[in-house]
Chain A
Amino acid sequence: MTFKRRSAIPGFGLTLGLTLLWLSLIVLIPLTALVLRAATGGWAHFIETAFSERAIAAYRVSFGTALIAAAVNAVFGLLVAFVLVRYRFPGQRLLSALVDLPFALPTAVAGIALTAIYADTGWVGKLLAPYGIRLAYEPQGIVIALIFIGLPFIVRTVEPVLADLGVEAEEAAATLGASRWRTFRSVVLPEILPALITGFALAFARGVGEYGSVIFIAGNMPFKSEIAPLLIVTSLEEFDYAGATGIAIVMLLASLAALLLINWVQHRERVRRGL
């Protein structure tokens, strides 16, 4: 390793010290306390609480619905990003601003609004009820909430990469006789795939942990439409700290896995681009 020139800008010790102190107090110590708490109960006890039948059913609901919602958004989010970058049409800026609404709208507000729409008496629920289609108070309702929550993650991750992508390679492909779809598939898609995977992982991770927008519309039936974060809250309300901790550890590991995947994808991408 070569010697790096030391930065001439002062305040390094002070700002790094404060950063580490604040980070430790707010994030690291509390998270460590969670892990230690699980560890002090013993391995067997942890397995028993974190993988009880009800907990496993809750993970299945949480991970399954988050996966479906992220997949739906991967398709439509990519389309939204593509249209925003490549086409010009009236109302485009308004559309672009609206994509960020799920970031700004409190989750509880989204939750009750979605429930109002998709319940049997709601604007959409009313139309579907005669055909026997129920969306609210069913696992499908969770997917609807997570689609709302996850959309901006995909659009905002893919959009800048798509904008940076020159049209030259596509033009070359088109000139050489590739069809429109083939050009997209073989020229555009490989370039934006890392961003798409990153956005997908972000939306998925957020969806797995999401609480506020989901609990109103989910119905919250154990083994059917009960999400893992709700099971943590229920355990806490019953003063079952060990149960809450065990499930929290599993969810923490899942989010760390998603984080690692994102970092790995981005690292590979940087290496590929020679940065």
Chain B
Amino acid sequence: MTRASPLDAPLWLKSSLILIVLAYIAVVILLPLAAVFSEAFASGLPAWIEAISEPDAQAAIKLTLLVAVIAVPLNCVFGVVASWAVAKHDFPGKALLVSLIDLPFSVSPVVSGLVYVLLFGAGGWLGPWLQEHDIQIIFALPGIVLATIFVTFPFVARELIPLMQSQGRDEEEAALSLGATGWQTFRKVTLPNIRWGLLYGVLLTNARAMGEFGAVSVVSGHIRGETNTMPLHIELLYNDYNLAAAFAVASLLAGLALVTLVLKTALEWRHGDAIASRGH
């Protein structure tokens, strides 16, 4: 704002409000972040390297990456498919469908894990059948992947639906009337329009997938070196009073969170118009 306005706050008011906000963010947000890195490197770099390279930590890192590699693409495809159905077509019950897609956001992570235990666990409905056929879902990789897909279910769709709705259907209709097939239209017209929004959604999905704790904790069984993801491994080390190692692994996830924030902020700055339709 360059012109003078009767709303221009006096300097004392403006600077005290800014100071309150800075102090609040420093205490609520920055302090925990600093604590992670300070505790992680408290015993020096060699201890940190040792903590993240011991076999159980390595197994946890690999499992976390594997789960993300399976869960993120699946939800990414689902998000695009769902957004295409919702944003490019009209049908009754659309609002209900969107609410249902959003539902996992409001379910407690623990409940998200519980529903799969009740379905596939030893005492669950499909438990006996699965046991007969020697298929293990709970306390194994499939359960962890399912729980992760559940908690990250809405991220991509929620990013893309408003974006694709605000972009309208004119461009697709033009391509189709010029003879393009549906698939060509999607690839050449829609996908370039939504790619930054899609990347944004994938970024958020990945951060949550790698960091999920509650849901995965319920279905994993906490088998050291086998079904422990990084967040679960952190809990295990912490409960063993191995704080230095717990914070060393935590610092990797905190690093991932920082990278996610940097990329997310970069996307918002450079492609703000291409990812957000929120202002409309």
Given contacts A87-B17, A236-B114, contact A209 B107 (CB under 8 A): yes
Q: Please give me the residue from chain B that is nearest to A75 by CB atom.
A: B24
| Interface residues as binary, A55-95 with B (CB distance below 8 Å gives 1, 0 otherwise) | 00000000000000000000010011011100101000101
Interface contact A101-B29, CB-CB below 8 Å: yes
Q: Cα distance A29–B123 when bound, in Å? A: 17
Interface contact B214-A171, CB-CB below 8 Å: no
Which applies to chain B's interface (DSSP): helix, strand, loop or mixed? helix
Interface contact A87-B18, CB-CB below 8 Å: yes
Q: Cα distance A258–B253 when bound, in Å? A: 30
Residue B78 interfacial (CB < 8 Å): yes
How many A-B pairs have beta carbons closer than 8 Å: the answer is: 288
Q: Cα distance A207–B36 when bound, in Å? A: 22
Q: Cα distance A174–B188 when bound, in Å? A: 52
Interface contact A105-B211, CB-CB below 8 Å: yes
Interface contact A160-B279, CB-CB below 8 Å: yes
- Cβ contacts under 8 Å, A229 to chain B: 108-111, 214
Q: Cα distance A167–B17 when bound, in Å? A: 19
- Cβ contacts under 8 Å, B78 to chain A: 18-19, 22
Q: Cα distance A187–B10 when bound, in Å? A: 19
Interface contact B97-A19, CB-CB below 8 Å: yes
Q: Please give me the residue from chain A that is nearest to B262 by CB atom.
A: A97
Residue A232 interfacial (CB < 8 Å): yes
- Cβ contacts under 8 Å, B110 to chain A: 209, 211, 229-230, 232-233, 248
Interface contact B115-A9, CB-CB below 8 Å: no
Q: Cα distance A163–B280 when bound, in Å? A: 12
| Interface residues as binary, A176-206 with B (CB distance below 8 Å gives 1, 0 otherwise) | 0000100100000000000000000000011
**Chain B interface size, under 10 / 10 to 19 / 20 to 34 / 35 or more:** 35 or more
Q: Which listed residue, A101, A106, A170, A232, touches B261 by the CB 8 Å rule?
A: A101
Interface contact B17-A259, CB-CB below 8 Å: no
Interface contact B173-A112, CB-CB below 8 Å: no
Q: Cα distance A95–B265 when bound, in Å? A: 11
Q: Which listed residue, B14, B204, B212, touches A106 by the CB 8 Å rule?
A: B212
Q: Cα distance A255–B6 when bound, in Å? A: 43
Interface contact A26-B150, CB-CB below 8 Å: yes
| Interface residues as binary, B233-249 with A (CB distance below 8 Å gives 1, 0 otherwise) | 01100100001001100
Q: Which listed residue, A82, A106, A228, touches B211 by the CB 8 Å rule?
A: A106
Q: Which listed residue, B149, B230, B231, touches A26 by the CB 8 Å rule?
A: B149
Q: In residues 1-49 of chain B, which contact A (Cβ within 8 Å)? A: 5-7, 9, 13-14, 17-18, 20-22, 24-25, 28-33, 35-36, 39
Residue A147 interfacial (CB < 8 Å): yes
| Interface residues as binary, A9-47 with B (CB distance below 8 Å gives 1, 0 otherwise) | 111100110111011001111110110010000000000
Given contacts A19-B81, A27-B153, A83-B17, contact A98 B30 (CB under 8 A): yes
Q: Please give me the residue from chain A that is nearest to B181 by CB atom.
A: A10
Nearest CB on A from B173, distance (A): 5
Interface contact A99-B25, CB-CB below 8 Å: yes
Pull 13 A–B residue pairs with CB atoms less than 8 Å apart, ordered by A: A7-B169, A15-B81, A18-B85, A19-B81, A30-B115, A82-B17, A95-B21, A103-B207, A108-B235, A112-B246, A209-B108, A236-B117, A248-B108
Which residues of B pack against A, CB within 8 Å? 5-7, 9, 13-14, 17-18, 20-22, 24-25, 28-33, 35-36, 39, 78, 81-82, 84-86, 88-91, 97, 99-104, 106-111, 114-119, 123, 125, 146, 149-150, 153, 169, 172-173, 176-177, 181-182, 185-186, 204, 207, 210-214, 217-218, 230-232, 234-235, 238, 243, 246-247, 250, 253-254, 256-258, 260-262, 264-265, 269, 278-279
